[in-house]
């Protein structure tokens, strides 16, 4: 399956979803999206959903690492990665991503069980609840209801 | 205001042709008169810039069936307006089937209709000319692009030459030890790099690096790494700096230098130091897959080790491992391009498949290369570099 990178936000909670075999040759669109995200005054959290990813190339890994480093610098928390494919987890760990992200290896199947999500520190309980709720909404967006998601992989970005 | 159009007016009747030319002139077209079919045809062969042809339907010396075959060959695509004394439906139908754009019957009293018709013809021609101009512009741009690509390819090939020369000589034989390598770039330039060199009289430092991405920027990063190791090798003698003996110190240095480069490039690496006197290996892995494979009479195994890739985070930390080497062994390091060409789908299965190849293959690099299909890879999806270190007792 060709790779896709999708992104959406809900009440300041952002999700980056990667599907298939993700290979990025030009990453301007993705970098622009991250830039806009950091400009958003509502920004409270971001997580990366790799549950449907089959492969990730080194450029994409670099982008993710940069995202985590920026989040840590600006908002002082580590974003979460949801991934339960052993091969993908092996790749993330070999690169030392457990030091950049919170790796959630079991959450793909049951997003309902998620009680905690890394987010902007010092936010109140209501914000926490909002983030969890946003997460549910975004995780629950079905294939047909993907309009909220913006495809960050343009045709010309296919390597 | 549009430029005035040009109209070819053809009729064997001289007085009619002059009157028609006058009329056409009044409608803002520059008339060109021909009174013979042959003359008109020769004139058309010279590819004049025309907007419209006005022609007598019953023209002497002109059979439309033949003309229809010859005029399209001129590929002029000039609209033709036919004029006749008779308004026979059958003639009109024929004319339209031949591709005439309009048909008028004498006397030409509806001048406005003629004017509209000629205007339509002129607009049509303008659109065609614009298309033609666009096509020419595109072709010019295309030619220019092809030229630019040619230059880029030449640059890439020059870079490739330089990169190939940076690689160490292969094989390098040192008593019982043999060091060899092979690099298959997917493009002209590669982000994969390997090197090995003696340090002092008993050590050999080696590295395998896989810089993220492709092309020139990745290749420059390999130059930087080559330079770093060469510098640290000479620092040992000049400054008493023994970083070159320490894989972790080298990785930390590489990490700093890639971060400083600020080109968003990072690299996975394996750095090792072989002590040929003690037959030991000191190594460190920076996010590199597949991990080094050690093959001996006991079978094949991965040399474990974790650590972040270099060039991502400032406070990266690396583990150093020290192992005793078997009396007879082969150590193989590959860049991750090799994983791409292995049949299994996911990474863990690929790693298992890869180690099995070593289990089932006698321990010569040549045989391995064949077994992994490396000698048949025309263009790999990703660069593939391999470094082999072997020792016979």
Task: Report all structural domains of chain B as residue ranges with CATH numbers, in order of start.
Answer: 5-136 (3.40.50.2300), 167-391 (3.60.40.10)
pLDDT tops 90 at residue B382: no
pLDDT tops 50 at residue B216: yes
Higher pLDDT, A110 or B213: B213
pLDDT at site A23? 83
pLDDT at site A123? 63
pLDDT tops 60 at residue B73: no
Average pLDDT over residues B105-122: 91
Domain CATH for A27: 3.30.750.24
pLDDT tops 60 at residue B265: yes
Q: Which of A62-66, B71-75, B131-135, B336-340 has the lowest mean pLDDT?
A: B71-75
Nearest Cα neighbor of B210 from B161, B154, B258, B282 is B258
pLDDT tens, residue by residue, B290-305: 999 999 999 999 999 8
pLDDT tops 70 at residue B352: yes
Chain B nearest CA to A125, separation (Å): 32
Q: Domain total for chain A?
A: 1
pLDDT confidence band for B228 (50 / 70 / 90): very high
Residue in chain B closest to A63 (alpha carbons) equals: B264
Identify the helix (H) or strand (E) that includes residue B5: strand B5-10
The separation between CA A33 and the C-alpha centre of its own chain, rounded to angstroms, equals: 12
Chain B nearest CA to A73, separation (Å): 12
CB pairs under 8 A between A and B: 60
Q: pTM score, two decimals?
A: 0.74
pLDDT at site A157? 46
Cα–Cα separations (whole angstroms), residue B266 to A93, B35, B211, B287: 16, 79, 6, 10
Q: Is B313 in Cβ contact with A100 (below 8 Å)?
A: yes
List A residues 32-61 in contact with B (Cβ-Cβ < 8 A).
54, 58-59, 61
Sole residue written with tokens 């009729």: B11
pLDDT confidence band for A154 (50 / 70 / 90): low
pLDDT confidence band for B378 (50 / 70 / 90): low
Nearest Cα neighbor of B392 from B352, B356, B365 is B365
pLDDT confidence band for B379 (50 / 70 / 90): low
The vertex-A18 CA angle with A13 and A19, nearest 5°, equals: 140
pLDDT tops 60 at residue B196: yes
Full residue range of the structural domain in which residue A27 is found: 4-158
Nearest to B307 among A61, A65, A96 (CB): A96
Q: Is B346 in Cβ contact with A86 (below 8 Å)?
A: yes
Average pLDDT over residues B338-361: 90
Q: Which of A117-121, B52-56, B285-289, B306-310 has the lowest mean pLDDT?
A: A117-121
Average pLDDT over residues A56-72: 90
Average pLDDT over residues A112-116: 62
How many angstroms separate the CA atoms of B264 and A62, rounded?
8
pLDDT at site B49? 86
Nearest to B347 among A59, A61, A87 (CB): A87
How many angstroms separate the CA atoms of A128 and A124, rounded?
6
pLDDT at site B184? 82
């Amino acid at each position: 399956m060709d790779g896709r990178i999708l992104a959406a936000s809900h009440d300041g909670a952002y999700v980056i979803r990667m599907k298939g075999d993700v290979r990025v040759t030009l990453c301007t669109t993705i970098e622009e999206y991250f830039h806009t995200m950091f400009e958003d005054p509502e920004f409270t959290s971001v997580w990366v959903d790799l549950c449907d990813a089959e492969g990730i190339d080194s450029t994409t890994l670099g982008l993710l690492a940069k995202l985590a480093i920026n989040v840590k610098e600006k908002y002082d928390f580590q974003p979460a990665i949801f991934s339960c494919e052993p091969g993908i987890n092996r790749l993330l760990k070999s690169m030392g991503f457990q030091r950049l992200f919170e790796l959630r290896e079991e959450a793909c199947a049951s997003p309902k069980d998620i009680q905690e999500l890394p987010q902007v520190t010092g936010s109140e309980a209501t914000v926490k609840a909002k983030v969890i709720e946003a997460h549910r909404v975004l995780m629950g967006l079905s294939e047909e209801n993907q309009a909220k998601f913006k495809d960050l992989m343009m045709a010309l970005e296919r390597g | 205001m549009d430029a005035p159009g040009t109209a070819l007016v053809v009729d064997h009747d001289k007085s009619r042709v002059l009157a028609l030319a006058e009329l056409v002139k009044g409608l803002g077209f520059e008339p060109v008169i021909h009174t013979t079919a042959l003359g008109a045809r020769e004139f058309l062969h010279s590819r004049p810039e025309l907007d419209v042809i006005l022609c007598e339907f019953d023209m002497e010396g002109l059979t439309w069936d033949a003309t229809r075959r010859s005029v399209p060959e001129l590929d002029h695509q000039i609209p033709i307006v036919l004029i006749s004394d008779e308004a026979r439906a059958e003639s009109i139908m024929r004319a339209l089937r031949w591709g005439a754009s309009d048909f008028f019957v004498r006397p030409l009293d509806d001048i406005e209709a003629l004017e509209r018709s000629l205007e339509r013809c002129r607009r049509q021609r303008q659109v065609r000319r614009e298309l033609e101009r666009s096509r020419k512009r595109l072709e010019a741009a295309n030619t220019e692009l092809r030229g630019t690509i040619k230059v880029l390819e030449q640059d890439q090939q020059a870079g490739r030459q330089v990169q190939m020369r940076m690689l160490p000589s292969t094989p390098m034989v040192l008593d019982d030890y043999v060091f060899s390598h092979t690099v298959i770039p997917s493009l002209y330039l590669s982000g994969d790099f390997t090197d090995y060199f003696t340090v002092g009289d008993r050590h050999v430092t080696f590295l395998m690096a896989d810089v993220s991405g492709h092309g020139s920027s990745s290749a420059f990063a390999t130059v930087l790494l080559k330079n770093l190791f060469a510098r640290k090798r000479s620092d040992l003698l000049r400054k008493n700096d023994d970083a070159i003996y320490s894989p972790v110190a080298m990785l930390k240095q590489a990490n700093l230098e890639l971060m400083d480069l600020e080109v968003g490039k990072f690299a996975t690496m394996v750095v090792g130091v072989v002590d040929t006197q003690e037959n030991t290996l000191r190594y460190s892995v920076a996010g590199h897959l597949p991990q080094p494979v050690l093959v001996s009479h006991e079978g094949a195994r991965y040399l474990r080790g974790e650590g972040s890739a270099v060039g991502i985070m400032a406070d990266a930390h690396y583990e150093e491992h020290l192992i005793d080497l078997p009396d007879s062994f082969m150590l193989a390091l590959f860049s991750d391009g090799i994983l791409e060409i292995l049949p299994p789908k996911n990474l863990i299965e690929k790693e298992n498949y890869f180690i099995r190849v070593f289990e089932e293959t006698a321990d010569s690099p040549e045989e391995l290369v064949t077994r992994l299909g490396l000698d048949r890879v025309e263009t790999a999806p990703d660069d593939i570099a391999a470094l082999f270190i072997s020792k016979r007792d």
